[in-house]
Structure 1
Amino acid sequence: MKIAILSPIAWRTPPLKYGPWEQVAANLTEGLIDKNMEVTLFATGDSITRAKLEHVTETAYAENPDMDPKVWECLHISHLMEQAAHFDLIHNHFDFLPLTYSRLISTPMLTTIHGFSSLKILPVFKKYNENSFYVSISESDRHPDLNYVATVYNGIDPKGFTFRKETKDYLLFFGRIHPEKGTFESIQIARQSGRKLIISGLIQDQEYFDLKVRPFLNDEDIVYVGNSGPLERDKLMGEAFALLHPISFNEPFGLSVAEAMLCGTPVIAFDRGSMPELIKEGKTGFLVKTVGEAVAAVDSIESIDRRYCREWALSNFSRERMTESYLQVYHKILEGGSE
């Protein structure tokens, strides 16, 4: 079976720091290589992989202001589509745009829908609903107008996340600095619970950061450490008392939630989107609805068995589990099956 993995090119695959779609594409590619599959990864030229690497640009456009994203996205996608006949299956992690090629090629295309940035993109998914194959990354993120061949949770390489039984006293916010991710709410939870908060993430909304985050930073109990890379992330997550995830949107998955649990760190999250699928209530963390409930949950964190958090994440969100699930989907598609 010859498989083409189409990764985005906003960031390197795997990303140096932020880049969840690129990270999942990288994890799956390496997982398939472990299964002795013949894989070609379409990504940036500086990507790191054991697969055959195809690229049209050496660097990611989010890291190079001289690049026009639309131009290089078109060149990147067309580079794969012009070689489509060389593959048994194309696995698209590049959102909706590659679907517009799907009726022009004979190779089946599987698209992992990593969430809907806006309902405005839905017409593209609906147009190609009958001739494409869609996978959701959580049951909560399925749209009723689309057909899905499976739900496959994102998988993480456990080697990058160290289990730590002993922790420090700080709470952690890890993710995009954006209103929907709840950085401000995390600050309130930390202050009301009397604990230090470390904030790590890409500043995606500068105005929000300047108005709702920066005024509370003091390098003592509310600390911003920037956009952390893999080594810093492993240490921050593993030593945290708990990860705070007070989202205000229906998040399709939430990689940081699974990553924290791989380190043994419990998660306190607002009960939205996929959180009930990721977090086992009272066992790997707590699902809450308000800042006040989150503060109360902080006092109950010590009842959580950190080793069980690790076991839960390994069982449900490992690279091995994701790879096996996708291989089942590949065989189903190539054998002409559907859900």
Structure 2
Amino acid sequence: MSDSNTTDFTNPSTFILLGIPGLERAHVWISIPFCTMYAIAILGNFTILLIVKRERSLHKPMYYFLCMLAITDLIMPMSILPKMLSIFWFNSREIDFSACFTQMYFINFFATMESGIFLAMAFDRYVAICHPLRHSTILTNCVVVKIGLALVLRGCLLILPYPLLANRWPYCKTNIIPHTYCKHISVVNLACADVHASSYYSLTVTFFAPGMDVFFIAVSYILILRAIFSLPTKKARLKTFGTCSSHLCAVFTSYIPVLFSSVMHRFDNTMPLYLLILMANMYLLVPSMIHPIIYGVRTKQIRDRLLSLFTPRRT
């Protein structure tokens, strides 16, 4: 007699997403802050895009990269939120086999894109501070477009093997994914095969893309700090460093949650599963909400333009 807890299917047509195991009764309540965060993200990022589009003085490389970040922050949460809410509100847990791999692809693609945009913004700050007289000749509109296209191509090529490799494995153990979305490692762990190729490739991409991006961002800021400390007055140093503060805050709010979540997933077996899943959702949703707030508050040009939209003009 076969065990009732096992299945004898191979490559099912659907996966079952459980949502947040252990917090099923709180699913509706959990959806409220998630929806609120994305509503703020939509409002904030669309505001950034509108301000940069309407204000010609902001048609500069720094703000073009900021627009790329805003677009990424609008789209990336959409890769998980609709299905997550259907689980929370309607208990609709099934997701098509191909749809699961598509979701996996877009989550990782936009995460890689965002990391690359942060590197491009760091390069812009390096050129602006260390080579201010050459900034307009180095970072022309054409160069900015090429950088954007290179980031898209890099993301497409690096992430494409994720679903291609995952699609090769036979899934004959179970089709139940204890998560709110098709996280790469959660899916491949269901395969009844040696999935080292997927695991090793995932680690390689993590090192090559975000890892190398963080390294070059750090190098950029070492050179930037060296240039700042060579300035003659404290006021000049603070003013120059202030142009980098928004970017640094955005970098920290993106990389630290991802790093913390990854470490907990790999090395801490004592943390409850529902906390790991909540963190995995938060690092996709929170940065999208926080980034426009950071740039709206800390970037003078955007802050002034934003205030002018809500301040009545004197006649």
TM-score range, shorter chain: under 0.3
Greater RCO, 1 or 2 (C-alpha within 8 Å, sep 6+): 2
- Greater Rg by CA: 2
* TM-score for both structures, normalised by structure 1: 0.22
Kindly indicate which of the two structures has a greater share of residues assigned to strand: 1
* TM-score for both structures, normalised by structure 2: 0.24
Kindly indicate which of the two structures has a greater share of residues assigned to helix: 2
